[in-house]
A and B are shown apart, each in its own frame.
Chain A
Amino acid sequence: AQSVSQHNHHVILSEAASLELGCNYSYGGTVNLFWYVQYPGQHLQLLLKYFSGDPLVKGIKGFEAEFIKSKFSFNLRKPSVQWSDTAEYFCAVTPGFQKLVFGTGTRLLVSP
């Protein structure tokens, strides 16, 4: 079945550690790719998005993501995390400009 997979369900890091969250999708053809973040008690917010062009996308708060078409992946990275990055991160895909399909999410806990 077509889907969006986030392999890390829980990640625990210390402040200043580097972060990489994996995201793979199984849709063929044209896709738009997104990362959303949900801070505790808050609504989903868009971190970054990819439509076309440079496969390395920069988003807010120092996050970036790299689209690797051959691997059907769109991994999220941050060189140095902060305690305030503690949140749940969702990868999402709009296959063929259709509805937004989410992965199951990754809970990130950053310890001070």
Chain B
Amino acid sequence: EAGVAQSPRYKIIEKRQSVAFWCNPISGHATLYWYQQILGQGPKLLIQFQNNGVVDDSQLPKDRFSAERLKGVDSTLKIQPAKLEDSAVYLCASSLVDRDGYTFGSGTRLTVV
């Protein structure tokens, strides 16, 4: 089966600019996650979707981050405006059933300068 697709792979922006990341999960996976992985740390959940509804966005900095999953398939994560501390790898994952573990994409490495 095809994996979780993410784009772009790399992005460099200046602080206060905006950026968007795209994710296409594995076909049929109802649950989609966005994780933030700061260098030297484990991934941290930002938001979880079940189909096109938000299940958990308690860790999402809503003043600058937003995410949507239209039609319950693809998802977009946006940061506006970006801060230096947003430099991280943004990982998208999907799962059919939580207990099976998640399948991760290759991530988008964001550098804010």
Closest to A107 in B: B40
Minimum CB–CB distance from A104 to chain B (whole Å) comes to 5
B99 at the interface (CB under 8 A from A): yes
How many A residues face the partner with a CB closer than 8 A?
Answer: 24
Chain A residues with CB under 8 A of B104: 36, 43-45
* B25 at interface by CB-CB < 8 Å: no
Number of A-B contacts (CB under 8 A): 54
A residues in contact (CB < 8 Å) with B: 4, 6, 32, 34, 36, 42-46, 49, 51, 90, 92, 94, 97-105
Q: Which of B40, B91, B93, B99 has the most CB atoms of chain A within a 10 A radius of its CB?
A: B99
**What is the bound-complex CA distance between A3 and B44, given in angstroms?**
12
| Chain B count of residues within 8 A CB distance of the other chain | 23
User: Which one, A6, A97, A102, contacts B44 given CB within 8 A?
Assistant: A102
Q: Is the CB of A43 within 8 A of B106?
A: yes
User: Which residue of chain B has the shortest Cβ distance to A42 in the bound complex?
Assistant: B106
- Contact assessment for A43 and B42 in the assembled complex, using a CB-CB cutoff below 8 Å: no
Q: Determine if B13 is an interface residue (Cβ-Cβ < 8 Å).
A: no
B residues in contact with A34, CB < 8 Å: 101
Q: Which chain A residue shows the least CB distance to B45?
A: A99
B41 & A105 in contact (Cβ 8 Å cutoff) = yes
**Looking at A4, A100, A102, which has the most chain B CB atoms within 10 Å of its CB?**
A100
